[in-house]
C-alpha cells in the first residue's frame, strides 16, 4: 500500500503531461486517494509521448507512453468531457466530496467552464485549489502556453549550462517540471495543514513553472542579484576527469581535498603551488592546470580512481549511463527501481518514490490507470449514480 500519511484526503487531478500530474502522484504516494480526470478518447497528452511505450504481455506496443507512466501511479482514472454539462457536473459532484483539486489549464480556461476557484469554493468552501501554469495567474505572459524547455531557457538554466565557447545546453529530462511538481505538492500540504488549523478554510494556490525555475537556481540566481553580473558558463572543466574507460566527477571543496587529490594522481609538486591554492585560482589558471591533471587521470580506470578517492574521503561520482546506474550496489540497496503490477503488461518497472518514512512507509504502488479504468466504481460507487444516469452521460458524450 502507499503511505498512510494522507489517508482520508481525496485529490482530483485534472492535469496533464508532467509537472502537475507529478504533484498529484506525490500526494498519492503519501496515501491520498487521487482521482485522475481525463478527456474521453485521448486522455492525458503524456500517454502519446514516447519514444518509449509500455509493451503488453504479448510484446505489442500499447498506448501508454513513458511520460504518462512516470507521473500517474497511485491514482484511479475516469473520463469527463468538460465541454458538456454532464462532464462539468461530474467534476462539481466530486469537488463536493474532495479536499484538493489540481489543474494545469491555461489561465481562464477553467473559469470558462464555470469550474474556476471562485465557482468551486461555493461548492466546497474547504477546497484547496492548485493551478499549475507556465507563467502564473498574473503578468503580461500569463495567457501563454509553455513547456519545461521554455523555462529552462527563460529561467536562466541554459545560460549556465555548457562551456563558454559553446551554445547553452538543455537538460535531457524535465527538471523544471519535476521541481514544479514538488513545489506544488509542498504547497498543497501546507494549505491542508492551514485549513485544518483554521476552521476548514480552503484557498487558491498559484504555481508557475517560470517562478520555480528561477527559485530553483538558488545561489546562482543570488550570485547575479548580489553583483548584477551574469555568472560564467564554465562547463564541467575542473570537475569531470577522463579515465581509460569513462569519466569521474570530482568535487574538491577545500584545500585538504585538493592536496589529497594531487597525491592520488602523483602530482604532489603542484599541490601547494600558490597559483592553484584555491578554487578561484584553479579556475583562473585552468588552461595550464587541468590538462596536467587530466593527463594523470587518463592513466587510471574509473574503478581504480574511484577506489582511491573513496579511501581519501574526497567527494566523487562516476558518470553513469543508465545500465551502470541501475546496477550500482548503492542504488540497488535503496530499492529505487521497483516492479509493480500492470493490467496490460503483467508488471512494469519504474522509479520508486525517493522518500523513506519510518512509521508510514510507501511499500508498494498501484499502476497508472488505463483511460477511464475506474469509471464505474467512482460514478456508481462514490457518487451513487444510477445505471440510467451513467448511460445518459455516455449518450451526451460527457464520459
Which are the catalytic amino acids? 177
Cell 528561477, residue located: 214
- Distance from C-alpha of 132 to C-alpha of 139, rounded to nearest angstrom: 15
- Distance from C-alpha of 326 to C-alpha of 336, rounded to nearest angstrom: 9
Q: Which three cell numbers stand for residue 53?
A: 511505450
DSSP class of residue 163? B
Strand order, beta sheet including 10-14: 76-79, 33-38, 10-14, 100-103, 128-133, 203-208
**3-state secondary structure (DSSP) of residue 74:** coil
Cell 564554465, residue located: 234
Cell 601547494, residue located: 272
- Distance from C-alpha of 42 to C-alpha of 349, rounded to nearest angstrom: 24
- Distance from C-alpha of 49 to C-alpha of 173, rounded to nearest angstrom: 13
Say if residues 21 and 44 touch (Cβ distance below 8 Å): yes
The H or E element that residue 69 is part of is: helix 66-70
Amino acid at each position: 500500500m502507499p503511505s498512510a500519511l494522507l489517508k482520508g484526503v481525496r485529490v482530483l487531478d485534472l492535469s496533464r503531461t508532467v509537472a502537475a500530474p507529478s504533484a498529484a502522484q506525490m500526494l498519492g504516494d503519501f496515501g491520498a486517494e487521487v482521482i485522475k480526470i481525463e478527456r474521453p478518447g485521448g486522455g492525458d497528452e503524456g500517454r502519446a509521448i514516447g519514444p518509449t511505450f509500455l509493451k503488453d504481455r504479448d510484446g505489442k506496443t500499447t498506448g501508454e507512453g513513458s511520460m504518462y507512466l512516470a507521473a500517474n501511479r497511485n491514482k484511479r482514472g475516469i473520463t469527463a468531457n468538460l465541454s458538456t454539462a454532464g462532464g462539468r457536473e461530474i467534476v462539481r459532484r466530486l469537488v463536493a466530496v474532495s479536499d484538493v483539486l489540481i489543474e494545469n489549464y491555461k489561465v481562464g480556461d477553467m473559469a470558462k467552464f464555470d469550474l474556476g476557484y471562485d465557482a468551486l469554493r461555493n461548492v466546497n468552501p474547504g477546497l484547496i485549489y492548485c493551478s499549475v501554469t507556465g507563467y502564473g495567474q498574473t503578468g503580461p505572459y500569463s495567457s501563454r502556453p509553455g513547456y519545461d524547455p521554455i523555462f529552462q531557457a527563460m529561467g536562466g538554466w541554459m545560460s549556465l549550462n555548457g562551456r563558454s565557447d559553446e551554445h547553452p545546453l538543455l537538460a535531457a529530462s524535465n527538471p523544471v517540471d519535476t521541481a514544479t511538481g514538488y513545489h506544488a505538492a509542498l504547497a498543497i500540504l501546507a494549505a491542508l495543514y492551514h485549513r485544518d488549523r483554521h476552521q476548514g478554510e480552503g484557498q487558491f494556490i498559484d504555481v508557475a513553472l517560470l517562478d520555480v525555475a528561477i527559485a530553483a537556481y538558488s545561489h546562482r540566481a543570488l550570485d547575479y542579484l548580489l553583483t548584477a553580473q551574469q555568472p560564467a558558463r564554465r562547463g564541467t572543466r575542473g570537475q569531470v576527469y577522463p579515465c581509460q574507460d569513462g569519466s569521474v566527477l570530482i568535487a574538491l571543496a577545500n584545500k585538504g581535498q585538493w592536496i589529497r587529490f594531487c597525491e592520488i594522481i602523483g602530482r604532489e609538486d603542484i599541490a601547494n603551488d600558490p597559483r592553484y591554492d584555491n578554487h578561484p585560482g584553479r579556475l583562473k589558471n585552468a588552461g595550464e592546470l587541468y590538462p596536467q591533471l587530466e593527463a594523470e587521470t587518463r592513466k587510471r580506470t574509473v574503478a581504480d580512481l574511484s577506489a582511491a578517492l573513496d579511501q581519501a574521503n574526497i567527494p566523487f561520482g562516476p558518470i553513469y549511463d543508465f545500465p551502470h546506474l541501475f546496477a550500482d550496489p548503492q542504488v540497488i540497496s535503496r530499492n529505487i527501481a521497483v516492479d509493480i503490477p500492470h493490467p496490460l503488461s503483467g508488471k512494469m518497472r519504474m522509479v520508486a518514490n525517493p522518500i523513506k518514512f519510518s512509521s508510514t512507509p510507501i511499500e508498494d504502488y498501484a499502476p497508472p490507470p488505463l483511460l477511464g479504468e475506474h469509471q464505474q466504481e467512482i460514478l456508481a460507487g462514490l457518487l451513487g449514480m444510477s445505471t440510467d444516469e451513467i448511460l445518459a452521460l455516455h449518450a451526451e458524450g460527457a464520459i
